[in-house]
A and B are shown apart, each in its own frame.
Chain A
C-alpha cells in the first residue's frame, strides 16, 4: 500500500517536521514499506481474537499517593535549550491554549 505525497506531507505536518521533496520521496517509500508489512499481518483471520491493549499479561500496577522529592528547578532546566529565570523559554506562542 503506497502512501500518497499528500499523506506523507500530512504526517510531516502533524509531527512538526518540514520535509524537502527528496525526503517526501524517501520517507514515503519507507512508510509504505511499513504499511505493507502491516497489510501482511492483516491477512490473518483475527475475527475471534480479542484486541490486545497491552503486551504484558498484567494489570493494576498502582503506587500509593505519597509525594517524593522532585528535581530542583536548576536540575530541571539544566538540559533545556533555553531558560528564563525559573522557567523554560520557548518561541512565542500565540494560540490561546490547547486542551488538556
Chain B
C-alpha cells in the first residue's frame, strides 16, 4: 500500500449578490434593519404568492459565470430543495438542481507553486435563508427573516485544490473577481461570502485502477479566509491520522460524506451530520417559476462587456510603472481601475505621454481623490459603469485646467464640488462649462492683477507697515486680500510676484 495521501479539495462558495432587492420579491436587501422589517408574503412563504426573478441577480450571475470561463447552457430552471429548519419559512429553498446558469469553467489562481487552474463545476443561483439565534435565557430560539430570499450565488469547484493554502488562495481570488466585477460586496463579517471546503485524501488506486479516497468531510459556513486555511489544515491532518489508524475502514466507499462544523476559537472541527443522517432534499422542479432561457445575443453582449480581468490588468499596471501595492489598490474594484485608465489616458492625450510621468499622474489622481469620487458616486457603481468613464474624463479635463493655469487650485476644488453636485442632480457639466458659466477663469493679465494688489495695499496700510518693519508674516495677509479683491480668480503666482515688487522685497 502506498503511503502517499494527496489532499483532494473542492470548494462551495456562497455570495450575496449586489442587488438592492431580494431574489424573488421587492423587499430591500440590508444588514442593519430592524428584525423582520424587510419581509413580505413572498419571502415569508405565505400560501398563494408568486415569486418573480430579479433581472439584475440573473445578469450578475451570468456575468460571474462568464468571468469564470463557464459555458452558459441554453436552458436553466429552478428547483425546490426541501428541508425543515426554522430559518426557512417555506420549508424549501428555491435553488437550481440539475440545470444551473453556468457549467464547466475554471479559475486561475496564483500560488507560490505557480499558476493553478481550478475547475469550476457549476455556478447557480438560489435564495438565502433567514437567521436563527438562540435566546440567552429561556428554552427557545428566535428568528429574523430579513435575510430570507437574498440572492445567493453558489460557485462549486472541482476537487482540484491540493492544500490548505491553495484553498485560501482560491477563495481570495474568487472574492477579488466578484468584488472587482461588482457581483458581490463579499463582506465576510456581514455573511456576504461563505466558504465550504470539501476535504478528502486520495489514498491510491483500488484493484480496478480507480482512485480511492478517505471519506469526504464538508466544512460548513467558514466566514474568513484564515479559518478556511486553518480548518482545511486541521481536516487534512485528521484524515491522515484516521486513515493511518484504520486504513481498511476509513474510506469514502465505506463511510461516505459527513458534515462538519468549525470552532474557530478552539481550532477544531466537529461532526454535525454523518452519512446516515444526511438530508434527503427531495428536489423537484419549482412550479411557481418559469425557466430561464438566455438569448445568445444577450450572453454575448455580457461577455463583450466584461472588463479586462484582474490578472491581466495587474500585469499591465506593473509594466506601466505602478507599484504592486498601487496596482492592487486600483484593482480593488473595476470602476476604480476604469477610472484610473480613463484619467491616465485623458492626461496623456492632452500633452503627450512625456509630459505626464506616471508618478505625477498618480499623485494628481490621488490629490483629486479617487476616494472622494468613489464615495460620491458609490450609489451608482453597479448599473452605470459608463458614468465613471465619462466622469473620469471630465475630472482629468479639470486637472488639465488647473495644471495649465486656466484656473487656480482653489477654484479647481470648487469646480470639483460643483461637478459632483451637477452629476448627482443628473445634470452633468464639464469643468470647462462650469468655469465658463460662472466666469471662474484665472486672471493672468498683469495690469488687472496690479490693480487688485494696489487695492489690497491701500486698504491695509497697517499690514504694509508691519511687513516693511520686518514682520514677514503680514505678506500672507496682503496676498489673501489681493486674491479676495480678484474674487479668487487671480493667478496666485503673478499676485505674489507683483506684490513682492511693490513692497520692494
User: Do A and B actually bind?
Assistant: yes
A contact set with B: CB distance below 8 Å: 10, 14, 16, 53-56, 58-73, 76-77, 82, 84-93, 95-100
Asked if A100 and B129 make an inter-chain contact with CB atoms under 8 angstroms apart, the answer reads yes
Is B39 an interface residue, CB under 8 A from the partner? yes
Is B447 an interface residue, CB under 8 A from the partner? no
Instruction: Return B57 CB to nearest CB of chain A, in Å.
Output: 7
Is B44 an interface residue, CB under 8 A from the partner? yes
Asked if A65 and B142 make an inter-chain contact with CB atoms under 8 angstroms apart, the answer reads no
B contact set with A: CB distance below 8 Å: 14, 19-21, 25-28, 34-41, 44, 52-58, 75, 77, 82-88, 93, 99, 126-129, 132-135, 139-145, 152, 196, 220-221, 261, 272, 279-280, 282, 285, 287, 289-293
Interface residue from B37, B129, B141, B144 paired with A72 (Cβ < 8 Å): B37
Residue on A nearest B263 in the bound complex, by CB: A96
Asked if B140 and A91 make an inter-chain contact with CB atoms under 8 angstroms apart, the answer reads yes
Instruction: Return B189 CB to nearest CB of chain A, in Å.
Output: 17
Interface residue from A85, A88, A95 paired with B272 (Cβ < 8 Å): A95
B-chain residues with CB within 8 Å of residue A87 when the two chains form the complex:
35-36, 133, 142-144
Asked if B14 and A64 make an inter-chain contact with CB atoms under 8 angstroms apart, the answer reads no
A-chain residues with CB within 8 Å of residue B53 when the two chains form the complex:
61-63
B-chain residues with CB within 8 Å of residue A73 when the two chains form the complex:
34-37
B-chain residues with CB within 8 Å of residue A71 when the two chains form the complex:
39-41, 44
Asked if B287 and A55 make an inter-chain contact with CB atoms under 8 angstroms apart, the answer reads yes
Interface residue from A58, A70, A90 paired with B143 (Cβ < 8 Å): A90
Asked if A68 and B84 make an inter-chain contact with CB atoms under 8 angstroms apart, the answer reads no
Asked if B140 and A92 make an inter-chain contact with CB atoms under 8 angstroms apart, the answer reads yes
Interface residue from B38, B39, B220, B285 paired with A99 (Cβ < 8 Å): B220
**Known: A16-B84, A68-B27, A92-B134. Is A54-B21 also a contact (CB below 8 A)?**
no
Bound together, the chains give a CA A60 to CA B88 distance in angstroms of 26
List 12 other contacts, CB 8 Å, given A70-B28, A71-B40, A99-B196.
Answer: A16-B84, A53-B99, A54-B77, A54-B290, A63-B52, A65-B21, A66-B21, A70-B27, A72-B37, A84-B140, A86-B36, A96-B272
Instruction: Return A82 CB to nearest CB of chain B, in Å.
Output: 8
Bound together, the chains give a CA A16 to CA B91 distance in angstroms of 11
Residue on A nearest B30 in the bound complex, by CB: A67
Bound together, the chains give a CA A87 to CA B38 distance in angstroms of 12
> Would you call the interface of chain A mostly helix, strand, loop, or mixed?
loop
Instruction: Return A54 CB to nearest CB of chain B, in Å.
Output: 5
Asked if B135 and A84 make an inter-chain contact with CB atoms under 8 angstroms apart, the answer reads yes
Asked if A58 and B290 make an inter-chain contact with CB atoms under 8 angstroms apart, the answer reads yes
Bound together, the chains give a CA A82 to CA B57 distance in angstroms of 34
A-chain residues with CB within 8 Å of residue B289 when the two chains form the complex:
54, 61
Asked if A93 and B85 make an inter-chain contact with CB atoms under 8 angstroms apart, the answer reads yes
Residue on A nearest B26 in the bound complex, by CB: A68
Bound together, the chains give a CA A100 to CA B287 distance in angstroms of 20
Asked if B292 and A14 make an inter-chain contact with CB atoms under 8 angstroms apart, the answer reads no
**Known: A61-B53, A90-B141. Is A66-B26 also a contact (CB below 8 A)?**
yes
Instruction: Return A14 CB to nearest CB of chain B, in Å.
Output: 6
Bound together, the chains give a CA A16 to CA B52 distance in angstroms of 29
Instruction: Return B14 CB to nearest CB of chain A, in Å.
Output: 7
Bound together, the chains give a CA A74 to CA B393 distance in angstroms of 50
B-chain residues with CB within 8 Å of residue A98 when the two chains form the complex:
83, 85, 87-88, 129, 279
